[in-house]
Amino acid sequence: MLKALIVDDEQHCIDRLERLLRSSTYNIKIIAYCKTIDEAIKEIASRTPDILFLDVQLGNGTGFDLLSQLDHIDFEVIFTTSYDKYALKAFKFSALDYLLKPIDNTDLDNALQKLRQQKNLKETSQKIDILFHNFKESNPSSKRIAIPTVAGFTMLDTKQIIRFQSDANYTHIHTLSNKKITASKTIKYFEDILDDNTFFRVHKSHLVNLDYIEAYTKGKGGHITLSDKTRIEVAVRRKDELIQKLRA
Amino acid sequence: MSRPTQKKYCFLLIFLVHFLGTSQINKLDSLKNELKANTSKDTIRAGLLIELASELTYSEPNKGFSLIEEALAISKKNTWIKGEALAQRQKGNLHYVLADNLNAMDAYQKALVLSRKIPDKQLEASVLSNLGNIHADLKEYDQALQNYRAYLETSRTLGNRAEEIKALSNIAIIYNDTENFEEGVSYLNKALTLAKEEGNDLFIAAITNNLALAYKNLGEHQKALFHYQEAMAMAQKIGNKYIEASALNSIGKINLLLKNYAVAETYASNALSLSKEIGAVEWEADSWEVLSKVYEQNGKMPEALNAYKKHIQLRDSVLNEEKKSELTRKEMQFQMERQQAVANEEIKRQQLAKIIYLIGAIFFVLMAMFGYYIYKRRRDALEKKKTAEFNAKVSETELKALRSQMNPHFIFNSLNSISDFISKNDIRQADDYLVKFSKLTRAILENSEKKSITLSEDLELMELYMQIETIRLQNKLHHQITIDQDIEPNNTLVPPLILQPFIENSIWHGIAPKNGDGHIDIKIEKEGDMLKYVVDDNGVGQSKKNVRGKKSNGSFGIKITKSRIDILSHIKNKKGSVNLMDKPEGVRVEITLPLELQF
């Protein structure tokens, strides 16, 4: 049995989650619900929950403020939010789990399923570290990312990544230190997360870090040479946009 | 002994005026008197000045120049072109007798130009003849002949007999000089006939003498002798000692050749004394030679030697003179040639410069045209690109506006549907429905911002939408989505939710009013470089329910979607289309779009 703590400033949201958890097949006990950050800090300290359902927008702050005030995090965190693009992106970077409100029964079950598979709590702490690192880091090219692998997660600075190469449902990540990490996600997953001006999908199978392009050679689509001397083909339809990005 | 000597025995008729003798002195005095009386600077004075200079030609040519300059000045001032031309010709004559061929030619050329300007044919012809004399001196026989012929032609046309005789005679001299004696004789005979008709004894004497020389050169000694005798008699008659001396000398030479030594001696002696009298050194030398040979034949060796010595002495002095004049002539020829060469060079240079300028200009014009062409093409391309970019931007904005219109349209349609659903169903089902609806709404809000999404993403949305509608219609609705094998859903880009209004239309107005199950069949095919959606429903069809395609919300969505497809077609420059057609049961919608791939 897992002890769950719900933090949300709206009663109807708490009620809905409570109702869904009760009818869930997973054995979860709600030990408390809090509506403010202060309340939550006290409850976490005294009740030591296993799972924290944390709303992003709280009346007097955010769920992140709450986490930042804790010395250590020795519980799982599942964020809840109705619509916050900014927060969603942050979760994806750090591979933290979240539920969209109104919460769907199936989504909740999936989240709990994943939670049960989670190997240790240290991972969650690391993910939250990434979250805070990315909040503090204003430079988009030096964000940190949690990469889901078959074994678990690998944490990487985005500036360590030279390129991503698609391999069906897996993606190989080539780093500056010449390491190859195989992620258990499609290349599209990374393209969506890294949707800024640092990475560019030059080809169906290639997502590259624009900072490491050493040369572009003209051709039908042409190709690029990266700092690790690999030559990557550029798709004809991506050529113009690539050149535009390289000029910018 | 060659041509230079021979030439001395023939008489260029241009000089004949000189032989008119002492009567000239009276004329000179009378001219001088007239000039003194006529001091006003008019054409009469100019005429007198030219005439006086002409009279002075052979006696005191140097005095003639000042007169000519005055005549030129007066003529120019009074714009009397003929006077100017006459003065220039006389100036040429003066230079010519002073053996200054270069300046002579210059003056003659000016006279020629002026005579043509008047125009005065006779004057022009006579100037041509003067020029011919210079050419003859320079041994440019072709040129000389050409000039003389023009002179002859003009004189004949104008009926000027004296000039005609001169021309014929001069032509004959050229032929004789070029050793074409037959032709020379023929011309001389023509001239002689005319001279006799005219009764001009001087001309007769001179031509006869020349004719005799030609016969002598032809070796016809008897004919030569006969003509020399005639010339001598005529010369004696008119008192022309030059011709007489020349004839005597020649008769002596021929008799020597014919070995009539006594006769030869007589004539040579006569010729000698006459030559001495007129100071004709060359003939003197010739006479001494004849005498020397005659003495030699008669065995009078000392006399022969003495005569020979005299001959050599005189001949050498003549030769020196000749050499000197030959040298001058050569120098002059050289100078003229050099001037000509320089002039030719200058003409060539100017022509070359002209050609270079022309080529340069053509090149420049071509370059300018080419440059303009390039500039224009570039400018046009840039403008085209800018226009295209602008149009694309306008189109994007329009599309965005249209897409954003879709959202409220969709949301409020759905809210109506939820309200309907809640009023008919239990809370649990309503909640389930609502959660799905919120997911769909979220997805639509996210995706409708995008220009295009992948076909697989779009179909996911459609699937979600159909599921919701299926719940609402209490499972009365079935659907199937089929994708052509040669389409890669992950690599194909489509405008988000382009099908939604048509499906909605089918559901609300086709299947909902229908009794029994409804079916929607969506097929996606590739047609060349177009993507084709075919949506079939088995609903009540268009005709039965007039609302469809009219004022319903469905029609609003369809209208917007049609506009979107039009703009997309415009951007891609391909013809997209929307077709709604009735079937026996239900409606078919066909939408074609430009196929766009991500990679």
In chain B, residues with a C-beta closer than 8 Å to the C-beta of A105 are 432, 435
What pLDDT score was predicted for residue B17? 40
Residue in A102, A103, A237 closest to B599 by CB: A237
- For residue B213, pLDDT over 50 is answered with yes
Most A-contacting residue of B385, B432, B435, B449 (CB-CB within 10 A), to test interface = B435
In a domain, B262, yes or no: no
What pLDDT score was predicted for residue B588? 93
- For residue B355, pLDDT over 80 is answered with yes
Q: Which fold has domain A2-135?
A: Rossmann fold (3.40.50)
What pLDDT score was predicted for residue B298? 86
Query: What value does the mean pLDDT take over residues B509-538?
Result: 91
| CA atoms lying within 13 Å on the CB side of residue A86 | 6
Lowest-pLDDT range of A34-48, B409-423, B493-507: B409-423
User: Does the beta-carbon distance from B491 to A203 stay under 8 Å?
Assistant: no
In chain B, residues with a C-beta closer than 8 Å to the C-beta of A88 are none
Query: What value does the mean pLDDT take over residues B141-162?
Result: 86
- Name the band, by pLDDT with cuts 50, 70 and 90, for residue B456: very high
Query: Closest Cα partner for B482 from B534, B440, B528, B539?
Result: B534
- For residue B53, pLDDT over 50 is answered with yes
Residues of chain A with pLDDT under 70: 119-121
Instruction: Identify the CATH number of the domain in which residue B42 sits.
Output: 1.25.40.10
In a domain, B380, yes or no: no
Mean pLDDT score of chain B: 83
In chain B, residues with a C-beta closer than 8 Å to the C-beta of A104 are 435-436, 439
What are residue B532's DSSP bridge partners?
Answer: B525, B592
In a domain, B359, yes or no: no
In a domain, B15, yes or no: yes
Lowest-pLDDT range of A123-127, A202-206, B39-43, B121-125: B39-43
Query: What value does the mean pLDDT take over residues B460-484?
Result: 88
B559 vs B579: CA distance, rounded Å:
12
- For residue B425, pLDDT over 50 is answered with yes
Note the ipTM here: 0.83
Residue in B431, B490, B597 closest to A237 by CB: B597
In this structure, how many other beta carbons lie within 10 angstroms of the beta carbon of residue B112? 21
In a domain, B168, yes or no: yes
What pLDDT score was predicted for residue B405? 67
CATH of domain A143-247: 2.40.50.1020
What pLDDT score was predicted for residue A191? 92
User: Does the beta-carbon distance from A238 to B599 stay under 8 Å?
Assistant: yes
In chain A, residues with a C-beta closer than 8 Å to the C-beta of B438 are 100, 102
Query: What value does the mean pLDDT take over residues B284-292?
Result: 87
- For residue B551, pLDDT over 50 is answered with no
- For residue B531, pLDDT over 90 is answered with yes
User: Does the beta-carbon distance from A105 to B435 stay under 8 Å?
Assistant: yes
- For residue B497, pLDDT over 50 is answered with yes
In this structure, how many other beta carbons lie within 10 angstroms of the beta carbon of residue A106? 9
Most confident of A220-229, B165-174, B542-551: A220-229
User: Does the beta-carbon distance from A237 to B598 stay under 8 Å?
Assistant: yes
Residue in A104, A188, A235 closest to B435 by CB: A104
- Name the band, by pLDDT with cuts 50, 70 and 90, for residue B10: low
What pLDDT score was predicted for residue B336? 75
- For residue B512, pLDDT over 80 is answered with yes
In a domain, B483, yes or no: no
- For residue B1, pLDDT over 50 is answered with no
> Scanning the structure block, which residue is given the tokens 């990434």?
A130
Name the strands in the sheet holding A97-100, side by side, starting at the edge strand that comes first in the sequence: A28-34, A2-7, A51-55, A76-81, A97-100
Task: Please report, for chain A, the start and end positions of each structural domain, with discontinuous segments joined by +.
Answer: 2-135, 143-247
Say how many domains are in chain B. Answer: 1
- Chain B nearest CA to A65, separation (Å): 26
What pLDDT score was predicted for residue A52? 94
- For residue B509, pLDDT over 50 is answered with yes
What residue numbers bound the domain in which B81 lies? 1-178
- Name the band, by pLDDT with cuts 50, 70 and 90, for residue B548: very low
What digits encode the pLDDT tens for the residues B306-348?
888 888 888 888 777 777 777 777 777 777 777 788 888 889 9
B80 vs B50: CA distance, rounded Å:
13
Lowest-pLDDT range of B43-47, B134-138, B264-268, B382-386: B134-138
What pLDDT score was predicted for residue B26? 67
* Cβ within 8 Å of residue B136, ≥6 positions away: B144, B170, B173, B174, B177
- For residue B247, pLDDT over 50 is answered with yes
User: Does the beta-carbon distance from A105 to B439 stay under 8 Å?
Assistant: no
In chain B, residues with a C-beta closer than 8 Å to the C-beta of A83 are 442, 445
In a domain, B80, yes or no: yes
In a domain, B62, yes or no: yes
Residue in B438, B598, B599 closest to A102 by CB: B438
